[in-house]
């Protein structure tokens, strides 16, 4: 819901953008089938309107490869596990590829085991968490995707950032509605949203971020030099719930597979060294405990009840289900092109020129 449309955008078509992204990634040493996964996930973010996690990040990703801190040709390998849980080592390769492989693996296994988990270590930024959870929808399964990230959140009472904005993504098949897709950071807002508010001259809310001295950040500069607040804000606002969720995501996606965690994580886009992130994926097959069609029928009915609810005064529209706006935007953007902002576009053009893969649009 917080994703704003760019002002004065350039319109690019999804399919050429995906092809160009894959070509560019191949040019820097990524094997074609790995490049295809990375391009798919990045363009999916652009389609869904989550520009901060899409192709706008390509210059940062390329810098990681050029600095030698991300191995573009690495392939994830299964290195452990038992029964319904598997451990993968991503070989410090693309997180998007390792994530796709590990998620698909647990979806396949869940056909037998009803529930299955994959955890991944030695991996990198994987883009939007929701994409992996949504892989389960095609098999009419529930998907879960968690990852840790650069320390940006200050735990409740702390003055410094120590935990990532570690997202929680869950996708649930919902019949004619497609899927319910929750994909949320465990901070109140992202750094990107702080920056946007600053550019628009909006005041920062007290539950968004703290300044370096620990007081609520009033300016973008204070916020970016300080730390984000966990979901809920300060202790009075029950921000310890958001902090607890962020910590649990780190325990499952970072500590469990033996990845880095918390304040030990280098910036995701730091060229100082590998980020050593971890991911956690789970698939649950509703058919293992009942009739899958009846399950989806109940999910459909739930959505219908929510959509028909009486609304508060001044509501900007009806009650939405998680992922509804993103799905509608993806459908529109697939049809009529993805609006990207001028800075994003200029970044892609410059990158294409430098690497000899001209950006077409």
Structure tokens at 25: 């990634």
167 Cβ neighbours under 8 A, 6+ residues apart: 129, 145, 146, 147, 149, 183, 184, 185, 186, 249
What SS3 class is residue 27? helix
Report the site for a copy of itself in 247-286 (rule: CB under 8 A). 247-248, 250-252, 255-258, 261-263, 282, 284-286
Which is nearest to 254 in space by CA: 129, 105, 147? Answer: 147
Q: Contact at 8 Å (CB) between 300 and 174?
A: yes
Please identify which residue in 36, 39, 47, 116 interacts with a copy of itself, judged by CB under 8 A: 116
Q: Per rule CB under 8 A, is residue 240 in the interface with a copy of itself?
A: yes
What SS3 class is residue 344? helix
Q: Per rule CB under 8 A, is residue 4 in the interface with a copy of itself?
A: no
What SS3 class is residue 77? strand
Q: Per rule CB under 8 A, is residue 46 in the interface with a copy of itself?
A: no
Please identify which residue in 36, 231, 277, 357 interacts with a copy of itself, judged by CB under 8 A: 231
Strand partners, 251: none
CB of residue 215 to a copy of itself, shortest distance in Å: 7
Q: Per rule CB under 8 A, is residue 299 in the interface with a copy of itself?
A: yes
- DSSP H or E segment with residue 349: helix 342-355
Please identify which residue in 68, 80, 273, 358 interacts with a copy of itself, judged by CB under 8 A: 80
Q: Per rule CB under 8 A, is residue 137 in the interface with a copy of itself?
A: no
Q: Per rule CB under 8 A, is residue 349 in the interface with a copy of itself?
A: no
Q: Per rule CB under 8 A, is residue 14 in the interface with a copy of itself?
A: no
Nearer to a copy of itself, 42 or 163 (CB): 163
CB of residue 257 to a copy of itself, shortest distance in Å: 6
Which is nearest to 127 in space by CA: 159, 169, 81, 71? Answer: 169
Which is nearest to 47 in space by CA: 108, 113, 119, 134? Answer: 134
Q: Per rule CB under 8 A, is residue 319 in the interface with a copy of itself?
A: yes
Report the site for a copy of itself in 172-191 (rule: CB under 8 A). 172, 180, 182, 184, 188-189
């Amino acid at each position: 819901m917080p994703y704003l449309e760019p002002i004065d955008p350039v319109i690019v078509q999804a399919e050429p953008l995906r092809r160009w992204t894959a070509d560019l990634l191949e040019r820097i040493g990524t094997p074609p089938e790995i490049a295809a996964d990375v391009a798919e996930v990045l363009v999916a973010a652009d389609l869904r309107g989550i520009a901060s996690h899409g192709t706008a990040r390509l210059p940062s990703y390329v810098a990681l490869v050029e600095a030698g801190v991300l191995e573009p040709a690495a392939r994830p390998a299964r290195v452990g596990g038992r029964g319904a849980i598997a451990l993968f080592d991503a070989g410090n390769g693309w997180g998007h590829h390792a994530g796709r492989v590990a998620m698909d693996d647990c979806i396949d296994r869940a056909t037998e085991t009803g529930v299955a988990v994959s955890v991944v270590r030695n991996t990198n930024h994987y883009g939007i968490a929701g994409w992996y959870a949504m892989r389960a929808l095609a098999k009419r399964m529930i998907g879960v995707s968690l990852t840790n990230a650069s320390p940006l959140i200050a735990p409740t009472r702390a003055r410094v950032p120590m935990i990532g904005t570690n997202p929680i993504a869950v996708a649930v098949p919902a019949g004619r509605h497609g899927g319910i897709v929750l994909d949320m950071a465990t901070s109140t807002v992202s750094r990107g949203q702080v920056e946007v508010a600053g550019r628009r001259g909006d005041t920062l809310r007290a539950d968004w971020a703290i300044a370096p001295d620990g007081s609520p950040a009033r300016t973008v500069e204070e916020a970016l030099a300080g730390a984000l607040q966990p979901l809920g804000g300060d202790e009075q606002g029950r921000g310890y719930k958001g902090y607890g969720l962020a910590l649990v995501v780190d325990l499952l996606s970072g500590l469990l597979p033996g990845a880095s965690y918390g304040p030990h994580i280098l910036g995701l886009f730091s060229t100082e060294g590998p980020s050593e992130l971890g991911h956690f994926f789970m698939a649950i097959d509703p058919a293992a405990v009942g009739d899958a069609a009846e399950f989806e029928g109940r999910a459909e009915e739930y959505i219908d009840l929510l959509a028909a609810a009486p609304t508060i005064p001044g509501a900007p529209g009806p009650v939405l289900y998680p992922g509804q706006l993103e799905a509608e935007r993806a459908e529109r953007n697939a049809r009529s092109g993805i609006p990207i902002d001028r800075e994003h576009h200029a970044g892609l053009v410059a990158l294409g020129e430098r690497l000899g893969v001209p950006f077409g649009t």
